[in-house]
Amino acid sequence: MIGTAARFNPATSIRTQGLRCALHVAGLFLSLLCVASAARAAGQLVIGGGALSDDSPAHSAFVAALAGDGPVVVIPAASESPAESGSYATTVLVAHGVAAERVRVFPVAEMDDSSTTGVDESRWSGNASVPALLDGLEHMSGVWFSGGDQTRIVRTLRTADGNDTPLLRLIRERHAAGAVVGGSSAGAAIMSESMICGGDGFRGLLEPPTTRYAETEAEDDGRLYLWKGLGFFGAGIVDQHFDHRARLGRLVRALGETGVRRGFGIDEDTALVVSGDARSAKVVGSGGVTVLDAEQARFDLGGKALASGLRLSLFPAGAGFDLQSLQPVAGAGEPVKGKGGSAFRPLAGGGMAFPNPRLEQLLAVELLDNSAADSVSRYSIDSRGRVLQFRFFETPQSRGYWRTAPDGDRFTATAVGFDALRSDQAKL
């Protein structure tokens, strides 16, 4: 009755509360299902370390991850020869099973290639904001960023005030809906929020970062140059061409300068394939992926102990690992037990006269499977007499795994201690 307080009935109240509770739990469960479903729907990332062979498993992984049968878009903006780069990427994708009519090279670039007389690619600089060019891409199933200069990608896909262009917004929307995003070299560098654009592994670690960028002609000469990437990969900073160009030092400096917790160095002809839920990754190709964990690290970038307390893990092609714990989940092989592989005192030094030049070999043969050593050092020296020491050592959490592969034994290492030290006089 209106205006009269309803009589309280304990039994009815209990039943009502129980029903409300059940509905609340059911609603919460459905919400969690929606969240989980959304997480599963996100597209994979295929982050290539550069110099991918035409038949690289990285391309196969990208094609396998395509979401649906929509267009596959190639972004050639990084290249000095955008039209040629787009044509090459199309050829590779078709060779890996993508129908030619599905591939669409998006005409976005900022410099002209004089050898392509029929087109002036510099006129493509504003195309990422032209709505008509986005027609038909609403259901794109994948996007591939070609190599070259990563800053060109960022400049052409962001507006002058730093906002996303319509093309970049669409790529983000499609990736969130399941489309795969991949790229190699420059197309890998743009994946992280903090982007490495230049610098070598020696001066890049010893000297403060530069505020001037010298384009790709000097990307491996001099001090570290950092810029803002596109941020598809949230787990850390990406560096590429890692093994061939000795970029461990500059990745250390990048972590110290930015405060980012982790760095991922991807070797040439190798890719890191990140799951749609961003919880795990696998390595494909011929090289490996080096991961630096700076959670407990201390940086004194102007002092002798440039970086100490880093933890280094290395995952070869064929290995999968958890992105949070950095522990292997597949393909690592058998654990090293008792360090019975060898027993010798490693040489302390560096250069072409020293064995095991690859990091994977050094960690396996000289440290984690060597019963006579709990640390190993490599030194580098320049013409000014400046010396860098990279010291690798076992921690209580360090683990090693061997796997026999058709192309030779592969070694996985996790939680190896790593310090980067400097000296003005070598004492080897």
For residue 117, the model assigns a pLDDT of: 86
- Quick: pLDDT tens for 48-78: 999 999 999 999 999 999 999 999 999 999 9
Q: Which domains does the chain have, with CATH numbers?
A: 40-330 (3.40.50.880), 334-395+412-423 (no CATH)
Strands annotated E in 257-374? 262-266, 270-274, 280-285, 288-293, 298-299, 305-316, 320-322, 328-330, 334-335
The predicted model gives 135-163 an average pLDDT of: 97
Report the C-alpha gap between 213 and 206 in whole angstroms: 18
pLDDT digits (tens, 9 = 90+) for 280-291: 999 999 999 999
Residue 20 has pLDDT above 70, yes or no: no
Span between the terminal Cα atoms of the chain, in Å: 95
Strand, helix or coil for residue 221: coil
Q: Note the pLDDT of residue 425.
A: 52
| Cβ-based neighbour number of residue 424 at 10 Å | 9
pLDDT value, residue 214: 73
pLDDT digits (tens, 9 = 90+) for 325-357: 999 999 999 999 777 778 999 999 999 999 999
HSE-CB at 375 with a 13 A cutoff on CA atoms is: 13
Bridge partner residues of 388 (DSSP):
380, 422
Q: How confident is the model at residue 32 (pLDDT cuts 50, 70, 90)?
A: very low
Look at residues 270, 252, 250 and name the one whose alpha carbon lies nearest to residue 262: 252
Q: How far apart are CA 157 and CA 227, in angstroms?
A: 14
pLDDT of residue 200: 95
Q: What is the pLDDT of residues 191-240, one digit of tens each?
A: 999 999 999 999 999 999 998 887 555 567 799 999 999 999 999 999 99
Tens of pLDDT, residues 353-405:
999 999 999 999 999 999 999 999 999 999 999 999 999 999 999 999 999 98
Q: What is the pLDDT of residue 285?
A: 97
406 Cβ neighbours under 8 A, 6+ residues apart: none
- Tell me the mean pLDDT in the region 296-301: 98
